[in-house]
């Protein structure tokens, strides 16, 4: 066991990829205090657990876990489970109560609840980061998330872009980092099950009908005929041939 995490073969594998991603992009510097966004899902629990174990190649840093309670869990069931897990793990943590979820799904905003929810949630995370002296904010987006975001932005945003592993914001005052960027979703889920992380129900009413869910299901269908489709999309982002992209587009 390392800081409450079972030291399995999968643990060592994911730890290697986390440290490699952090080093490749210079995500963490000595003495950093890293805010780790913990949604209550398996991905964020995996990120927090891995970051809280001794590092081989990374400089010393500390973490504070932050959960934004969106206001759907009126009985505080899931929030209570998460709080106990964080306390038992010995983490420094903040659970911030809000009404972001119901507000984002209110009548005047029904067309795009995910956009407003994400915007308000991040605003609150930035405020908490400043309060706790954090200059790095770690989110648990993995390789599949990066692939899906590329397609979401093409299909719905009319642009070719995606999440980046290290994203400076506010003129470099803060950095959003994604230490799981090299990891496949299936391995992250497998690790979470192996470690016995608590399962917390997703209470957002639009979670099963989101654009990301649609893209995820589309990729799964495409993979039935071409198992390498996600790997091909991933590698294509490193082989962008700008000479074969039009500088200007006419028409509507």
Give pLDDT tens digits for 107-122: 767 677 888 888 999 9
Asked whether residue 2 is domain-assigned, the answer is no
What values do phi and psi take at 53, rounded to 5?
A: -105, 155
Residue bearing the bigger pLDDT, 11 or 3: 11
DSSP state of 55: P
Domains identified in the chain, total number: 1
Q: How much is the pLDDT for 65?
A: 97
Are 43 and 188 a contacting pair, CB within 8 Å? yes
Q: How far apart are CA 107 and CA 114, in angstroms?
A: 14
Q: How far apart are CA 32 and CA 174, in angstroms?
A: 11
Region 129-142: what's the mean pLDDT? 97
Q: How far apart are CA 47 and CA 203, in angstroms?
A: 22
Q: How much is the pLDDT for 62?
A: 96
Length of the chain: 252
Q: How much is the pLDDT for 21?
A: 98
Are 179 and 27 a contacting pair, CB within 8 Å? yes
Q: What is the pTM of this model?
A: 0.92
Asked whether residue 244 is domain-assigned, the answer is no
Asked whether residue 247 is domain-assigned, the answer is no
Asked whether residue 36 is domain-assigned, the answer is yes
Asked whether residue 3 is domain-assigned, the answer is no
Return the structure tokens found at 137.
């904010």
Segments forming the whole domain that contains residue 170: 9-239
Give per-residue pLDDT as tens, 237-251.
999 999 999 888 876
Instruction: Look up the CATH number of the domain holding residue 109.
Output: 3.40.50.620
Asked whether residue 89 is domain-assigned, the answer is yes
What sign for the dihedral angle of Cα 179, 141, 62, 15? negative
Asked whether residue 177 is domain-assigned, the answer is yes
Looking at the chain, the whole-number percentage of residues with pLDDT higher than 90 is: 74
Asked whether residue 249 is domain-assigned, the answer is no
Residue 85, classified by CB atoms within 10 Å of its CB into exposed (0-12), middle (13-18) or buried (19+), is buried
How many alpha carbons lie under 13 Å from residue 24 in its C-beta half-sphere?
Answer: 15
């Amino acid at each position: 066991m390392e800081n409450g995490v079972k030291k399995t073969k999968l643990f060592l594998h994911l730890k290697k990829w986390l440290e490699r991603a952090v080093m490749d992009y210079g995500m963490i510097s000595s003495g950093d205090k890293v805010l780790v966004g913990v949604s209550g899902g398996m991905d964020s629990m995996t990120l927090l657990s891995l970051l809280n174990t001794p590092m081989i190649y990374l400089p010393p840093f500390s973490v504070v876990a932050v959960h934004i309670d969106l206001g759907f869990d009126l009985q505080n069931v899931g929030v209570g489970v998460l709080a106990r897990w964080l306390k038992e793990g010995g983490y420094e943590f903040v659970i911030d109560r809000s009404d972001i979820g119901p507000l984002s799904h209110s009548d005047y905003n029904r067309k795009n609840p995910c956009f407003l929810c994400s915007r308000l949630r991040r605003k609150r995370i930035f405020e908490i980061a400043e309060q706790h002296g954090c200059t790095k904010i770690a989110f648990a987006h993995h390789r599949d998330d990066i692939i899906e975001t590329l397609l979401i932005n093409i299909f719905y945003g009319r642009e070719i872009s995606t999440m980046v592993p290290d994203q400076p914001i506010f003129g470099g005052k803060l950095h959003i980092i994604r230490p799981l960027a090299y990891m496949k979703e299936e391995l992250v889920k497998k690790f979470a099950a192996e470690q016995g992380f608590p399962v917390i129900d997703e209470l957002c009413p639009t979670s099963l009908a989101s654009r990301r869910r649609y893209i995820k299901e589309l990729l799964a269908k495409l993979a039935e005929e071409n198992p390498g489709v996600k790997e091909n999309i991933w590698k294509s982002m490193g082989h962008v041939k700008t000479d074969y992209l039009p500088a200007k587009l006419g028409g509507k």
